[in-house]
């Protein structure tokens, strides 16, 4: 039975659709309104507020904290300054990705890591023998994502803390909101301007209430996972168990991915001090990746032709699709789409996935499988470099 988050007293009364799913053992709203449209547009045009409490959160504390986190992550965490956040995957001994998340440096000897899956044992085992303590703080922290072009204004109004105006991308700050101490990081999973707010569970409702109250003037809406899934595909952001499979959960070796296979090669620093998977990744890099992470734009004309044959306009789902779809070049399958969505803001059917590296030229044509009235057809598409949408860094 999924359990409620600290925001549940509010989110449950706001839910008109009663559409919930389970996220890491918690009840999570898929939508609040019967359809997701307004929630999607809130993120892209004004601001959306998402309960992200279900994320797993860990703290690594102690004199060897930097060494420990650096041994876990593929990025060079020694370069992460206090008040800075880094995105990084972490890998197993064979260089296959276990999970990915953000690493926030709260103090010289204190880091906070977010994760999609439980990782306590892994983090503890990686830091065994070091002078650190790895603590699961998942239940000690409630968290909200405040995302969208108006999120800064909402945040400033709610906190009345003007210094936050200058909070840079992937930096964090301590402040107060509705009398509660909170940590604000300029991070998110939407590709838009946005923040994540971290607080003790007992302050959750006060923070929520205050944000919704001041947010009314800015068009702030509570949003669910349906809208999130659309915007994260537009932003070209990976979802675990959808766009890649955690090596700890893979059933066969072929299901595992190195960071190079899923577009995260840029996070791998092979020159830094030893980390788990390093030796394997040196070899993997020399050998070259098995897959290349790509974006695809599906040709609308092609869809119209295919559906026109049965007198239908193109049928594309409103929400994001997580069904894997084969990608072809000529007669050969060269890869797969793992997430796709019709992007309302771009007015394009877009997808992310992986193809063979030698076939991965941006701009080159491919075909994807599409089912038209129970018949398998192929629609034309073009490879592009993700993201399709990115406003996260902009001032």
Partner 1 sequence: MNERYDAVIIGGGHNGLVAAALLAKAGKRVLVLEKRQTLGGSAATEEIFPGFKVNTGAEDAGLFRPELVEALALERHGLRFVEGPAVAFAPRLDGPGLTLWRDPTRTQAELAERISPKEAASYHRFTQLVARMTQVLDRAMLQTPPNPKEFDPRELLPWAMTGLKLRQLGKRDMMEFLRILPMSVREFLDEWFQDPFLKGLLATAGVAGTMQGPYAAGTAYLFLYHHLGGGQGVRAGRFVQGGVGQLSVALASAATLHGATIRLGAGVARIRTSYGQVTGVVLEDGEEIPARAVLSSADPRRTLFDLLGPQELEPRVMRRVRNIRFRGSTAKVNLALRGLPRFHGQESPEQLTGHIVISPSMEYLERAYDDAKYGRPSQEPALDVVIPTLLDPTLAPEGAHILSATVQYAPYALAEGSWDEGREELGDRVVALLARYAPELPDLVLHRQVLTPLDLEREYGLTEGSIYHGQMDLDQQLFMRPIPGYGQYAMPVGNLFLCGAGAHPGGGITGAPGFNAAREVLQALR
- Tell me which residues touch partner 1 (CB under 8 A): 67, 71, 93, 122, 125-126, 128-130, 274, 276, 279
The smaller minimum CB distance to partner 1, of residues 129 and 330, is found at 129
Kindly state the smallest distance separating residue 275's Cβ from partner 1, in Å: 10
Q: How far is the CB of 277 from partner 1 (least distance, A)?
A: 9
Considering only the C-alpha atoms of the chain, give the largest distance between any 2 of them, rounded to a whole number of Å: 68
Nearer to partner 1, 60 or 303 (CB): 60
Of 124 and 382, the one with the shorter C-beta distance to partner 1 is 124
CB closer to partner 1, 126 vs 177: 126
DSSP-derived 3-state class of residue 65: helix
Q: Kindly state the smallest distance separating residue 211's Cβ from partner 1, in Å.
A: 40
Closest-CA residue to 368 (of 385, 349, 388, 386): 349
CB of 228 to partner 1, least distance (A): 32
Nearer to partner 1, 128 or 266 (CB): 128
| Residue 385 DSSP one-character state | P
- Give me 121's structure tokens: 């044992």
State the minimum distance, in angstroms, from the CB of residue 76 to partner 1: 17
Query: Judged by CB, which is closer to partner 1: 93, or 140?
Result: 93
Contact, 53 vs 149, CB < 8 A? Answer: no
The token pair at 271 is: 């020159």
User: Count of CB atoms within 10 A of residue 84's CB?
Assistant: 16
Q: Give the shortest CB-78-to-partner 1 separation in angstroms.
A: 15
State how beta strands 133-136 and 56-61 pair: antiparallel
Q: How far is the C-alpha of 394 from the C-alpha of 101, rounded, in Å?
A: 21
| Rg of the chain (C-alpha set) | 21
Structure tokens at 286: 């020399």
State in angstroms the smallest separation of the CB of 125 from partner 1.
4
CB of 380 to partner 1, least distance (A): 44
Nearer to partner 1, 10 or 279 (CB): 279
Please, what is the minimum distance in Å from the beta carbon of residue 379 to partner 1?
42
Looking at the Cβ atoms of 130 and 372, the one nearer to partner 1 is 130
Given the complex with partner 1, which of 54 and 277 has the nearer CB atom?
277
Distance CA 89, CA 115 (A): 9
Q: Phi then psi for 12, rounded to 5 degrees?
A: -70, -35
58: left (phi over 0), alpha (psi -120 to 50) or beta: beta
Of the candidates 92, 248, 263, 105, which has an alpha carbon nearest to the alpha carbon of residue 171?
A: 105
Q: Which contacts (CB < 8 Å, 24+ apart) does range 118-125 have? A: 118/56, 119/56, 119/58, 119/90, 120/58, 122/72, 122/90, 122/98, 122/248, 123/58, 123/60, 123/68, 123/72
Residue 282 to residues 279, 290, 356, Cα–Cα distance (Å): 5, 14, 20
Q: Between 271 and 311, name the residue whose CB sits nearer to partner 1.
A: 271
Q: How far is the CB of 79 from partner 1 (least distance, A)?
A: 20
Q: What's the chain's length in residues?
A: 395
Compute the distance between CA of residue 225 and CA of residue 223 in angstroms, rounded to an integer: 7
């Amino acid at each position: 039975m999924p359990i409620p988050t600290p925001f549940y007293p509010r989110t449950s009364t706001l839910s008109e659709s009663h559409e919930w799913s389970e996220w890491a053992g918690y009840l999570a709203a898929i939508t609040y309104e019967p359809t997701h449209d307004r929630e999607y547009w809130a993120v892209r045009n004004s601001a959306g507020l998402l309960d992200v409490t279900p994320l797993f959160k860990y703290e690594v504390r102690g004199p060897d904290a930097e060494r420990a986190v650096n041994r876990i992550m593929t990025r060079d965490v020694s370069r992460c300054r206090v008040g800075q956040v880094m995105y990084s995957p972490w890998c197993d001994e064979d260089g296959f990705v276990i999970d990915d998340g953000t690493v926030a440096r709260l103090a010289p000897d204190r880091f906070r890591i977010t994760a999609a899956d439980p990782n306590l044992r892994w983090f503890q085992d990686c830091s065994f023998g070091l002078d650190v303590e790895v603590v699961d703080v998942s239940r000690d922290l409630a968290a909200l994502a405040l995302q969208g072009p108006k999120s800064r204004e909402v945040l400033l109004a709610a906190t009345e803390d003007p210094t936050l105006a200058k909070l840079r991308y992937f930096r964090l700050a301590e402040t107060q909101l509705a009398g509660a101490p909170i940590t604000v990081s300029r991070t998110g999973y939407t590709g838009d301007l946005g923040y994540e707010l971290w607080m003790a569970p007992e302050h959750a409702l006060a923070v929520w209430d205050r944000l919704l109250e001041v947010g009314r003037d800015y068009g702030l809406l509570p949003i669910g996972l349906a809208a999130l899934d659309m915007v994260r595909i537009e932003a070209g952001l990976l979802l675990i168990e959808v766009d890649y499979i955690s090596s700890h959960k893979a059933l066969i070796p072929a299901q595992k991915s190195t960071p190079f296979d899923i577009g995260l090669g840029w996070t791998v620093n092979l020159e830094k001090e030893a980390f788990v998977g390093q030796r394997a990744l040196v070899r993997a890099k020399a050998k070259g990746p098995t897959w290349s992470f790509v974006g695809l734009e599906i040709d609308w004309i092609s869809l119209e032709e295919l559906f026109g044959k049965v007198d239908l306009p193109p049928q594309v789902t409103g929400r994001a699709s997580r069904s894997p779809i084969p990608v072809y070049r000529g007669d050969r399958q060269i890869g797969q789409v793992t997430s796709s969505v019709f992007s309302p803001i771009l007015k394009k059917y877009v997808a992310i996935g992986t193809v063979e590296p030698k076939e991965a030229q941006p701009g080159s044509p491919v075909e994807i499988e599409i089912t038209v009235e129970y018949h398998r057809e192929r629609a034309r598409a073009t490879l592009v470099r993700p993201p399709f949408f990115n406003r996260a860094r902009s001032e």
